[in-house]
DNA sequence: GTATATGCAAAGCATTTGCATTAAA
DNA sequence: TTTAATGCAAATGCTTTGCATATAC
């Protein structure tokens, strides 16, 4: 397998190994969501999947996205008011960098976050599960 | 003014000083949103405002929330899928602590966040405006 | 008096649901 | 063959819009 194939098969590769009933529709959705820095809405997934499989329905896209989210293969991120974005980079812990003008979303590594912790008064009795961080600002092209 | 009044009039107090046309409806909305650790949905604001002013309409609540958000008096926070929560603590920089079971939302001080910064490779050319942080987990009563 | 806020109902967008049909294993 | 996925259309939840009426200043 060469570098390019590897990049493009993250999600699809994981799914092949699982015992998940693999239909043409699910493959189309998984393909659309395979790769780095992907953050698509359900509607975007639908239109891209239709390029490859025109008969795919909206309901199936929503079903599949929900299924993949439940399996931990996708992360739902709510960056803006409006539709949820689906991020296939659910395995690797990361945060999001977002341009407030053009809406571009990028995954970023946690960095300098070792000291990101609950203030002492909140820590007591609270079982921390997850920390969501969104960095908002202007990207180079928009600034 | 005693301590209790002070606590309860944050938002209302700020509005009195501004040249904002103060109607019974707007006062009702502002009252409902005055106090610490308030994170209400539009629907919750409506039902609480109705207790004080039964003739207030849903549209007016939405209008007023939008207006106050535009003026920087409220912050819209999207913690869960579903409705936006309105946070009147827009003046003081803070983050959110959320119970993933009961849904309780609390404001928390940024703490140990001095080192919360963009990774060097992302920093270049990006003009950072804001960092949103949500701590998710189980609160004491739910754990 | 005049500009602006209100309230109603209809429209809009994102998503979910029910159910009959179809296809994978 | 059997279980589960698909697709359609209707329903839901949240929010916005258009417009006639009412009200603060």
Residue B8 has pLDDT above 60, yes or no: no
Assign B138 to helix, strand or coil: strand
Query: Is B111's Cβ below 8 Å from some Cβ in A?
Result: yes
What average pLDDT does this structure show over B104-129?
79
What is the per-residue pLDDT for B17?
79
Task: Mutate one of A116, A117, A128, A131 to test the B interface: name it (highest B CB count within 10 A).
Answer: A116
The answer for residues whose C-beta is within 8 angstroms of residue B124's C-beta and 6 or more apart is A140
Burial of B82 (0-12, 13-18, 19+ CB in 10 A): exposed
Looking at the DSSP bridge assignments, the partners of residue A128 are B137
What is the per-residue pLDDT for B138?
94
User: Among all chains, which residue has been given the structure tokens 């998984």?
Assistant: A30
What is the per-residue pLDDT for B67?
96
Beta strand segments in chain A, E: 40-41, 75-77, 85-87, 95-99, 105-108, 127-138
A119/B108 CB distance under 8 A: yes
Within 7 Å: CB of A59 and strand D? Answer: yes
What is the per-residue pLDDT for A1?
43
Of A81, A116, A119, the CB nearest to B116: A116
What average pLDDT does this structure show over B97-115?
84
* pTM of the full structure: 0.90
Model pLDDT for residues B32-88, shown as the tens digit of each residue? 999 889 999 999 999 999 999 999 999 999 999 999 999 999 999 999 999 999 999
- The arrangement of strands across the sheet holding A105-108 comes to A105-108, A95-99, A127-138, B127-138, B95-99, B105-108
CA of B79 vs chain A CAs: smallest distance (Å): 8
B97/A139 CB distance under 8 A: no
Within 7 Å: CB of A64 and strand D? Answer: yes
Q: Give the total residue count for chain A.
A: 143
CA of B17 vs chain A CAs: smallest distance (Å): 30
What is the per-residue pLDDT for A81?
94
B138/A132 CB distance under 8 A: no
Assign A1 to helix, strand or coil: coil
What average pLDDT does this structure show over B111-121?
67
B116/A113 CB distance under 8 A: yes
What is the per-residue pLDDT for A14?
82
Tell me the pLDDT of chain A (143 aa) as tens digits. 444 444 445 788 888 888 899 999 999 999 999 988 999 999 999 999 999 999 999 999 999 999 999 999 999 999 999 999 999 998 888 999 999 999 999 999 887 655 567 777 777 889 999 999 999 999 999 98
């Amino acid at each position: 397998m060469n570098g390019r194939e590897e990049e493009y098969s993250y999600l699809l590769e994981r799914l092949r190994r699982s015992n998940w009933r693999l239909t043409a529709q699910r493959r189309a959705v998984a393909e659309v969501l395979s790769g780095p820095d992907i953050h698509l809405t359900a509607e975007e997934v639908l239109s891209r999947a239709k390029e490859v499989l025109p008969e795919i329905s909206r309901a199936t896209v929503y079903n599949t996205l929900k299924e993949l989210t439940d399996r931990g293969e996708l992360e739902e991120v709510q960056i803006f008011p409006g539709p949820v974005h689906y991020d296939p980079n659910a395995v690797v812990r990361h945060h999001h960098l977002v341009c407030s003008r053009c809406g571009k979303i990028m995954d970023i590594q946690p960095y300098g976050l070792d000291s990101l912790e609950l203030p002492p008064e909140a820590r007591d009795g609270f079982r921390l599960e997850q920390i969501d961080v969104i960095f908002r600002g202007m990207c180079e092209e928009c600034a």
